[in-house]
Amino acid sequence: MDLNHSQKDALTELINIGYARAAGALSDLTGHRIHLEVPQVVIHQIAEIGPLLKAVVKGDVVSVNQSFAGPIGGNAILILDSAAAVLLNQLLTDRPGAGDLDGAAQEVIIEVGNILLNACLGVFGNLLQVQVNFTVPLLHIEPVDEVFDAITAADSKLQYALMIHTRFHMRTSNVNGYLVIILGVNSLERLLLELRKWEERQLA
């Protein structure tokens, strides 16, 4: 299943609204101006995501995973390579010497993931006028393949993944990561239906 041009534009606009809210919350939290950019949104079969990410993310990844349920349900995951996670922690906490992902650093990344994922899923709920409930986010450090293996093993209905290249702009640095929203067929169809209704409301 591919997104047409209109669907991709509408989805990108929605996610940018969520990212603007997340950037505002992170800026307030840290006292530094933070900008979040969504350069690209694409949809893939979930089996394709692991190999695609392995081509651009080396070694183990740091993932913050949050499942959500309702008329649209699935999993939302923020994925960073280890170097990006360390840099993000340094920039957010003013700890330039923090060179590893200790317990304090992991708490920071979980909070970033929580703010980002909640903002995006909240936009889905508010603007698409559907109820979305989500769980407490969990952090894992593991190979890319294992991130998706565990999720699909828990729910075989999940077949599609929206992959959103994400860029954090802070001070003079950029941190790249990926937001992956994993959906089943029914949830994806409902999302596209609600997206079309939202577009129609904007034109009314």
Going residue by residue through the chain, which has 204 residues, state the pLDDT in tens, using 9 for 90 and above. Answer: 678 888 888 888 889 999 999 999 989 888 888 999 886 888 999 888 888 888 888 788 999 999 999 888 999 999 999 888 998 888 888 776 666 888 889 999 999 999 999 999 888 888 778 888 889 999 999 988 888 887 777 777 788 999 998 989 987 788 889 999 999 899 999 989 988 888 888 887
Report the alpha-carbon distance of residue 139 to residue 151 in Å, rounded.
13
Determine how many CB atoms are found less than 10 A away from the CB of residue 197: 12
For tokens 């990926």, the residue is 178
Structural domains of the chain, with CATH? 5-203 (3.40.1550.10)
Element (H, E) at 49: helix 46-56
Closest by Cα among 164, 197, 201, 193 to 18: 164
| pTM of the complete model | 0.90
Closest by Cα among 44, 19, 33 to 117: 19
